[in-house]
A and B are shown apart, each in its own frame.
Chain A
Amino acid sequence: MNEMIVTDNLGKQYRDLVALEGLSLQIPPGEIFGLLGPNGAGKTTTIKILTTLARPSWGTARIHDFDVLRQPLQVKKLIGVCPQEINLDRELTAYENLWIYGRLHRMTELKARIQELLDFGDLSGRADSLVRDFSGGMQRRLLILRALVSRPQVLFLDEPTVGLDPQVRRQLWNLIQELKLGGITIILTTHYIEEAEMLCDRVGILNRGRLIALDTPQALVAKLGGYVVETLNGGRRQYLLVRDKEEAYSRAQMEPTEVIIRQVNLEDVFIQLTGERLTN
């Protein structure tokens, strides 16, 4: 078994809403895999199933060859979860939050591990502060550190930088890139294009519960062409995909209004595939 995560025709239905429809993935160890899609695309549902929080309605999912439905305890020993909402105990200190999580995972020598993590996350000076007094960025960092206490083989990061200012977002990206160097497999959901392009080895694009594209960010972008000519006509933004810079210039000269010429990104891939924007 070479793959760290394998899903086969994975699906989830809530009453009459199909949140996830036939997701099949293979993710090798050490990869940062991004699930990209707008709100309601099925990203969080996928994470919930893989982390044993939700039962799939059909299909299977295995982590390190353990079935998430039939062998949940073995799966939970392998994973660390950083959810979208900050579910730290606000009335407890940073140290207490990490200690309790470590004990839930039956960790020993926790004191040294917690100190190591607080140093890594640049929070060692705040170990005994209540989490409610932390800034949003510090809470996010602590949330990631908590997921790392048990030295997981697979780390799930569900929208890890949502709602953070750009500077803090970049700090977290650095942290995630450092984690990758340690060989951990990371599943990351996001609707930030830049985040997916910067961090992910491969990206799966989800829309309305279905996987509509799967490849490296570079390959997905390359399929579309090199450049985009953006125009604003009567209040409507229009996108024209072109092969190279020269073609972009000649197209731009033909436009009566102001134009923006830029490189193709994953958002363009999404628009091309669905006719909708990824972000609001």
Chain B
Amino acid sequence: MNWFPIFYREILLFRRRLLRLGYVVSALFSPMLYLLAFGLGLGKRVTIGGGSYLDYLLPGLLAMTSMTNSYNWIATSMTVGRLHFRTFQVYIQSPVTATDIVVGQILAGMVRGIFASVILVSLGLVLGGGFHYNLLFIVALLLNCLVFAAFGVIVGMKSRSHEDTATFTNFFIMPMGFFCGTFFPVDEMPWLARDIIKILPLTHTNHLLRFPAWNLANLGSLGLLIAYGVLCLTVAIVMVRRYSE
């Protein structure tokens, strides 16, 4: 395995952008906006399952933030690197395997997802919200980052333009963010939509981050996230392996 240089390059670029103050703010702008508008505004009037809305919302925002940050970075960087800057071609012409390229990219995407998650958790704690931390919580968060970073690789390989990436985001990522139990329980949805939503990965991450208990249903959710991870990883590797101009 020789994934480290690919991972390290992404981290160097991430670190350089991180030093620009505006970057951190823009990356966390929407979750902060949701937190302030829904968590603090709406939260005073609404309760879900007997608890405060802020406590309900925080794990959902964590799932959504880790998803968008893991996905966006990789999908954008791969699309632009492949089509515009042509830095991706350097990997293809170097003695590294498709697996090395995909693993390096995914790990870098996960780092970004985790970074955003840590900031959101800190923000939540400041606002008085809480999480149920345990091993399952951490595993679910990591798996969520992995699934969507791998999906980011697929989108990065598939996009024919920067607009294509936005289309994938609008059709897959944004609806998941809104309907997979981030802001309100999935059971509130009509039956057909509910059945579709229940097989989407973010629904299961949301559930695991809210109720991270070691029971059979949660193990099923964990299994499904692992299956999504393996599927996206495999598709991503095949796409990179078949790359030809």
Contact = CB atoms under 8 A, between A and B. Distances in A.
Interface string B128-166: 000000000000000000000000000000000000000
Given A53-B89, A83-B89, A87-B90, A105 B95 contact: yes
Contact of B2 (A51, A54, A96, A106): A106
A103 B4 contact: yes
Range, interface on chain B: 20 to 34
B245 A104 contact: no
A54 B95 CA distance: 15
B95 A73 contact: yes
Contact of B95 (A88, A90, A92, A106): A106
A91 B93 contact: no
Contact of B89 (A87, A89, A92, A100): A87
B44 interface: no
A139 interface: no
Contacts of B115: none
Scoring B2, B5, B8, B90 by chain A CB atoms within 10 A of each residue's CB, the highest score goes to B90
Interface string B185-219: 00000000000000000000000000000000000
Interface string B31-46: 0000000000000000
Interface residues of A, number: 26
Contact of B9 (A81, A83, A89, A90): A89
B139 to A, nearest CB: 30
A244 B242 CA distance: 56
A64 interface: no
B244 interface: yes
A101 interface: yes
B83 to A, nearest CB: 11
Please classify the interface of chain A as helix (H, G, I), strand (E, B), loop, or mixed, using the class held by over half of its residues: loop
Contacts of A52: 92-93
Contact of B5 (A73, A85, A87, A103): A103
A180 interface: no
Contacts of B92: 52-53
Interface in A51-105: 51-55, 73, 76-77, 79, 81, 83, 85, 87-92, 96, 100-101, 103-105
Nearest to B86: A87
A53 B93 contact: yes
B85 to A, nearest CB: 6
A91 to B, nearest CB: 5
Nearest to A56: B244
A208 interface: no
Interface string B84-99: 0111011111111100
Nearest to B243: A53
A48 interface: yes
A255 to B, nearest CB: 49
Nearest to A79: B93
Nearest to A74: B95
B245 A54 contact: yes
A85 B83 CA distance: 12
5 contacts: A48-B245, A73-B97, A87-B89, A89-B9, A104-B2
